[in-house]
A = this chain, B = another copy of it.
């Protein structure tokens, strides 16, 4: 790596943008919500307005200094970390909801807007922005776009990318472009907005998002069904997907999670004895239709062998049930000193095989494993849980778990990541899924956006 002249860059940034944009306390930027790092950035820049982004990127380009865009830092694969040193660009200060166009059903927002803020703002106007990653109260829309974040409601509505109409972007040379469109459909030139979605800050810095909205469903209800095992819960997933109830969400928790929740007493409903898998079923729609769907979904779950089906129709109970689901990752973290979380996805038919494989891999290497997540999309969060002080070879065993999980996923026709991205953490496993030639093609695309390779260099694609 070349020696970076950060002092000179610091001076130029101060001169051009004012010293206020430079963040003194760089410590909070050394990690994200995953296991990578710490990587202390050389500089942290936090623009106060959109127009400051392009000049900053131009300076980094001129100085040949790497730049890692960062949203709210809730990612789990190190995508926003400055592992090459250089600049972290904190977009959290760009937090304006520029426009909510009710009649066109779209919102224009800056990247630092929190996902939950956007939810509240559009729902107050009778509209709905479906993407709901578990971190929705603390993650930002720009980060959601950069990783193509999903969430439970992706089951019915799709992921972040399905709601991105257009983006303002600054490329690696500091050039500004508006890509995409404000209309619902558009095929003028290449699908550049679609290419930027999920590109993890390696192609451009997103400075504004035009997002499609849908009408807010007037009502929603939540079912929590418990099962004797994961296979039965997976069968209920299939029945709900094809049974005419159009579930908004289908979220699974495996035996480890279920037993933990049963002991914790945090669930708003009591679980029957023998419950070893849980399925959250969210339904939304209008009143009469929803009542019918609720009965039908409960029947579908019972047909798959549900031990109990609890219905939550009041907002407080529903929110409590969903809070437990969203907190699962942190609940696991509270019970094990260390957690390695993967985010694999398989074709729907292979979901039970994936759940079984995760359990079997944990047993094989004597590592605790807990799986939960977006069963309706075939996307599971598989967590390997351990105490690093428990034994000398525990690190190695966990590594073998991760490698075996990815191999099993690929063998099942799946993919390394459903919604978290590759970042640094999964980069070593890319060759399992994508050939050297395919990776080279993607790096060639990156050169078109970022000829000097300053935007998140080395992320996503392993060297060579």
Query: Which residues of A are at the interface with B, using a C-beta cutoff of 8 A?
Result: 101, 103-106, 126, 147-148, 150, 154, 158-159, 161-162, 171, 175, 177, 179, 181-192, 194-195, 197-199, 203, 215, 218, 238, 241-242, 244, 286, 288-289, 292, 345-350, 374, 377-379, 413-422, 426, 430, 433-435, 437-439, 441-442, 444-445, 447-449, 460-461
Contacts and interface: CB of A to CB of B under 8 A. Distances in A.
Contacts of A441: 171, 175, 177, 192, 448-449
Nearest to A293: B289
A77 to B, nearest CB: 10
Contacts of A195: 190-191, 194-195, 445
A197 B186 CA distance: 12
A104 B350 contact: yes
Contacts of A460: 189
Nearest to A245: B286
Contact of A181 (B126, B181, B415, B461): B415
Contacts of A218: 244
A161 B191 contact: yes
Given A185-B415, A187-B417, A191-B195, 9 more contacts: A148-B191, A183-B346, A187-B418, A187-B420, A188-B433, A190-B203, A194-B194, A194-B195, A288-B292
A181 B198 CA distance: 14
A45 B418 CA distance: 39
A184 B449 contact: no
Contacts of A181: 345, 414-415
Copies in the complex: 2
A421 B103 CA distance: 26
A199 to B, nearest CB: 6
B442 A445 contact: no
B430 A183 contact: no
Contacts of A242: 105, 126, 215
Nearest to A438: B177
A74 B254 CA distance: 50
Contacts of A159: 185
Nearest to A106: B347
A162 B419 CA distance: 17
A413 B347 CA distance: 38
A422 B186 CA distance: 11
A9 B219 CA distance: 64
Query: Which of A183, A215, A417, A438: most chain B Cβ within 10 A?
Result: A183
A104 B444 CA distance: 33
A189 B158 CA distance: 19
Contacts of A162: 158, 162
Contact of A194 (B191, B377, B415, B444): B191
A192 B346 CA distance: 19
A378 to B, nearest CB: 5
Contact of A418 (B154, B185, B198, B292): B185
A389 to B, nearest CB: 33
Contacts of A179: 438
A240 B145 CA distance: 29
A200 B434 CA distance: 25
A189 B422 contact: yes
Contact of A379 (B103, B185, B346): B185
Contacts of A417: 186-188
A182 B347 contact: yes
Contacts of A416: 188
Nearest to A199: B190
